[in-house]
Structure 1
């Protein structure tokens, strides 16, 4: 259930609340009368998430700067596996692309693409006909594909491109880093008014590198910085710490030419604190 709710909401705490509400409804139901418990749970969790998402969208309209979904970091080897293991497979680029969908489009897309629900189940969940749900899923796919970042890149593709990009920056070869970007590359930072971050998406390699270069040289002069590569939402990401406190999470999505299409930078300390639990 967490995986479904997290994909719907893009937030860990919200997803956990939705899961709890779903199980409370299950506990209050006559379970013996439920012929298909998995479908029942998906329907309830989806509708709870739809209601929460409507409220969340209103809040995001007044959010300071771009809003980005919260990342999920894969536990280190030997660490206990959390209940959100399956949700880690949902890429941040896909979560961000799904922000273009309304509540029912998002639910239909997730139920069909992530959980292979048939159209009759989706229809029962959303209160629509099966035919309308087919159209809803088709429209949602087109919107997601048109959103920008590529969502079908392999882990190895992301790892190779990330290594080249971050190594170029750390060696201060900003020309090499720029060569991995294009005029269409987009960098999005989420600081949530809690820390310094770009208040708008940066478009084009020159603008992106200008900011990255300035930030790198600034932090280079400060003490206590360390970096780590971890798996975040199923893909490699670059985590930066200052005196052991997580400061940012950065990951990329490539285009079909092997260049960087999209850079995700999470700096909101509230989201990073939730992620670190």
Structure 2
């Protein structure tokens, strides 16, 4: 018996495609927040499309609720195996950075905002999968408790308890940050200039005394295997790495929005090679998150 062809967006009925496209950005956002991976989030959206295109949509009263439920469950299924892989990861694990500047549209950048900062996603990694789902749906996307309960097939009382616990956990661990984007950008520019210029003193002036530097090479790029704590150690490491890395021919440096905040992307001949995301508070860098793993840089193509 001949297999039926898999329905693609191009071949699907216009109404079904329009309904899916209307919620595509939301589905990507939910999956990315759940998984911290651009590639995995895109896979979840594709799988959600396949389920949507094969579903009897005459029985779907609320396409948004249906699709969010599908995407959340697909993300939960992936999260377990992803966490198993991270147990053997070489060095600190950081989420995949995502370009959120005007190249992806100001509306999308505004929607993503501070909630997708790499620092917040790192904190979300410390939640249980279900707590993370509740936090993302409720705190990030503003769904009602009834909607969250429907997505997860739990009672409202249960998801409220999970949500309260997750919110307290995140608030206790998320770093302080400046809300003034102009101040964030100014500090980022000073940070970049000091790194490029190899100026340790200038870096010390922009780093908080207790700054934490995390570098994610995933065993594929040279990186520190443990967090570097303290301005002096972080400054000397950054200058040493910059003098070696930024001196290579064919590199260009972009100051762009990475995960809803000013950041730095270094491009090589083959594409993005380094991404830097900073947490700025009181005019100084509290955290510097540097992603060098080439497998995690696809979301930074301009």
State the TM-score, normalizing by the size of structure 2.
0.82
Counterparts of 1:35-74 in structure 2 under 5 Å? 35-74=61-100
- In 2, the alpha carbon distance for the partners of 1:220 and 1:10 equals 27
Question: More deviation in 148-157 or 126-135?
Answer: 148-157
Number of corresponding residues: 274
Cα pair distance change 1:108/1:197, threshold 3 Å:
same
**Shift in Å, 1:36:** 1.8
Counterpart in the other structure of 2:301: 276
Cα pair distance change 1:152/1:135, threshold 3 Å:
farther
- In 2, the alpha carbon distance for the partners of 1:227 and 1:158 equals 18
Counterparts of 1:196-275 in structure 2 under 5 Å? 196-219=222-245, 222-243=248-269, 245-255=271-281, 257-273=282-298, 275=300
* 2:277–2:288 Cα contact (<8 Å) kept: yes
Which ranges of 4 or more aligned residues in structure 1 deviate by more than 4 Å?
80-88
* 1:100–1:147 Cα contact (<8 Å) kept: no
- In 2, the alpha carbon distance for the partners of 1:192 and 1:3 equals 24
Match of 1:162 among 176, 182, 188: 188
Unmatched segments (≥5 aa) in structure 2? 1-26
Deviations 1:29-58 (A, max 9, x none): 222222222112111111111111111111
Give the 3-state SS of the residue equivalent to 1:182 in structure 2: strand
Cα pair distance change 1:135/1:276, threshold 3 Å:
same
Cα pair distance change 1:144/1:183, threshold 3 Å:
same
- In 2, the alpha carbon distance for the partners of 1:267 and 1:29 equals 40
- In 1, the alpha carbon distance for the partners of 2:179 and 2:274 equals 23
Deviations 1:65-118 (A, max 9, x none): 1111111224665xx759976775322222222111111111101111222111
Counterparts of 1:162-201 in structure 2 under 5 Å? 162-201=188-227
**Shift in Å, 1:59:** 0.7
- In 1, the alpha carbon distance for the partners of 2:272 and 2:256 equals 12
Counterpart in the other structure of 2:176: 150
Question: More deviation in 152-161 or 15-24?
Answer: 152-161
* Cα-Cα RMSD: 2.5
Counterpart in the other structure of 1:127: 153
- In 1, the alpha carbon distance for the partners of 2:111 and 2:33 equals 7
Deviations 1:210-239 (A, max 9, x none): 211211233465433331211222211112
**Shift in Å, 1:243:** 4.2
- In 2, the alpha carbon distance for the partners of 1:110 and 1:27 equals 26
Question: More deviation in 171-180 or 30-39?
Answer: 171-180
- In 1, the alpha carbon distance for the partners of 2:52 and 2:248 equals 53
- In 1, the alpha carbon distance for the partners of 2:46 and 2:35 equals 14
Give the 3-state SS of the residue equivalent to 1:64 in structure 2: coil
Counterpart in the other structure of 2:141: 115
